[in-house]
Every structure is written in structure tokens, then in C-alpha cells.
Structure 1
């Protein structure tokens, strides 16, 4: 399910500087305010926010909560477009799982499960784990954290730093 603020009904055009897309200041301010309030006052609901540069809008992901929805409306001035979408999990819930997995990295390494990346998805869908052998990692992570744990395993090689 999703809903939008009234500003989404207005015509908007992408902003660029030196040919690169940029977030307009009014949208950037709304994004910052929602992110701050979401993390501080609505941790059980807030999952994350993304910027749609082409659409000149913010997309807020949250576990449905009337009080958070009211806060988003209150933080969004006329003319700014914010799309609010349902999320399965809050950022706080995913951060806790991410921390558990990260704390166990040495153990996973010792068991031969090569985990390269761990990060909560901003849309609240789960914790993404990048592994060299995703099938094995998926099975072992489910056995450790539960079959219903919101873990999304993807194939990933080792992280390689960019040359300086």
C-alpha cells in the first residue's frame, strides 16, 4: 500500500548542476527531517527513505503507523512530493539483525561461509548478505537466525578497494 502528499499532484522537473542530477533544497530538507524524526521518534515504524531524482520526490518506507504518517504529512510543505510505502520491517529491527550477523562474522569465516557484505535494505525488506556461496549461506543463516528471519542472500565476491 502507498499514499502520497499533495505536492505529488504538481508538475515537477528534475534538477541538475553541471549535468548531474541534484536534490532540490526543499526536498533535501524534508528528507533530512523525515529521516531524523523517523529514527528518533518512530523507530518501530521507520524503515528508510530514498530519493527519486527523476521524479523529484522522496520515497519513505515504513511499517504502517498512523502517528508516523501524520508526522510525515506535518514535515512536508506544500509543493514537495513524498511517496509513503509499506515496509515489512523497521530500520531498528533490521539493524539489530544486521548487528547479530556482523558480530558472528568470524564464526562464519571459521565455518567456511564467506560473507562479504551485510547491510539493512532501506525499503525494510530485510538484511542483505553478500556471500560467495549464496545457497550455502542462505541455508546456514536460516538455521542460525531462523527460517523466518528477514535475510536476503545475494552472490558477492570480495570487496575490492578502488585504486587511489
Structure 2
């Protein structure tokens, strides 16, 4: 199955904002499955807004998620399955808000995290600001936020980098991995 992931940051341009229609309830089921290396899925909801396709649903869900900066972590999409994985610090108000924005036939899978996107963006900015600081110890090649609740740090030598980066920034929300050199190919 082809899986397209769209990371949605706080500054994403929302294609359109559509309000929830009256009478559009949320069907909630508790689910437990663990994605390797990721947060546990807490629940899912089936969209009920008639006439709202996947892209309209995502625009509305994204817009509503931005109203909850202390809770929202990120969003990824599986277009083929018409689902969106929503990562957030657990919040009943957030869940109700974003679930009421999904169109009929769209499923939102809600995952628990312990950090919001704003804090992850700040951590990524701190790590990026020190890009050349580590020269001679390791080469910092890329830094980015993963919507599942961590900052991805790509380096040439993870063994050398991990302890240094964890000592400087804490290890709770860092994932240090090996990344090859960029090429012009």
C-alpha cells in the first residue's frame, strides 16, 4: 500500500476552513495497537460531515488542530485508505473538535504523545542553530520534526553524536540517525 505522509506544521496554509454541520456527531472507538517506534493509538473516529472529501476534511482538521497549540503534535495522511493519523497530547476537547471536522468516509486515528508541535519546533530550532558547533566530533546533516512526537537528527556518526546531543538537549524527544552526504545527482 502506498502511504503518503504530509507533516502539518503550525504555519501550514489551510486550503479552506469549513465549519462542522449541525448533527454531525463523532463515533469513537478505543483501539490499542503499537506502531514500531511510535506512540500508541488511543482511539479513532469516523467522519460524518456529508459532502466533505478527504482534502477538505484535512484542511478543516488542520485548521481546528491549530486552535489547540498546547495539544496538537502533528498529522500524517494515508490517501489510499482515506485516513489521517493525528498525534496529540490527550485531550477530549481537542478530539471532539477535530473529529467533528472530518467528512463522511474519512477516518481519524488519534495517537497519544507527550509533547506538542510548538515545543518540538523550538527544540528543532535549537539543534539547528548549533549546526556547525559539532564539527570535528560529528557532522550534523539534517534536523526536522516528526509528527509522531520527536525531532529527527541526521548525522554522519550516530554513536559519536547521540551522547553529545542528549547531554546538550535531552534525549526524550530526539531520534539520532545516520544520514549519508547529500549529492547533486
2:68 & 2:178 partners in 1: Cα distance?
Answer: 33
Aligned twin of 2:132: 106
Secondary structure of residue in 2 paired with 1:79: coil
**Deviation (angstroms), 1:7:** 4.3
Aligned to 1:30: 57
When the two structures are aligned, how many residues end up with a matched partner?
A: 142
Q: CA deviation at 1:108?
A: 2.1
The residue that corresponds to 2:183 in the other structure is 160
Is there any run of 5+ residues in structure 1 with no aligned partner, and where? 9-24
Aligned twin of 1:45:
71
Instruction: Give per-residue Cα distances to partners, 1:80-133, cap 9 Å, x unaligned.
Output: 211111123211111010000011112123x43201110010111x10100000
Distance 1:38 1:6 in 2: 17
What secondary structure sits across from 2:59 in the alignment? helix
Corresponding position of 1:136: 160
- Which sections of structure 2, spanning at least 5 residues, go unmatched? 1-40
SS of the equivalent of 2:134 reads helix
Q: Find the partner of 1:55 among 64, 73, 81.
A: 81
Greater helix share, 1 or 2?
1
2:88 matched to 1:65?
A: no
Distance verdict in 2 for CA 1:161–1:65, change over 3 Å: farther
Instruction: Quote how far apart the aligned CAs of 1:42 are.
Output: 0.8
- Runs of 4 or more above 3 Å deviation: none
3-state DSSP class of the match of 1:67? Answer: helix
In the alignment, what sits opposite 1:16?
none
* Cα-Cα RMSD: 1.9
Q: Normalising by structure 2, report the TM-score.
A: 0.70
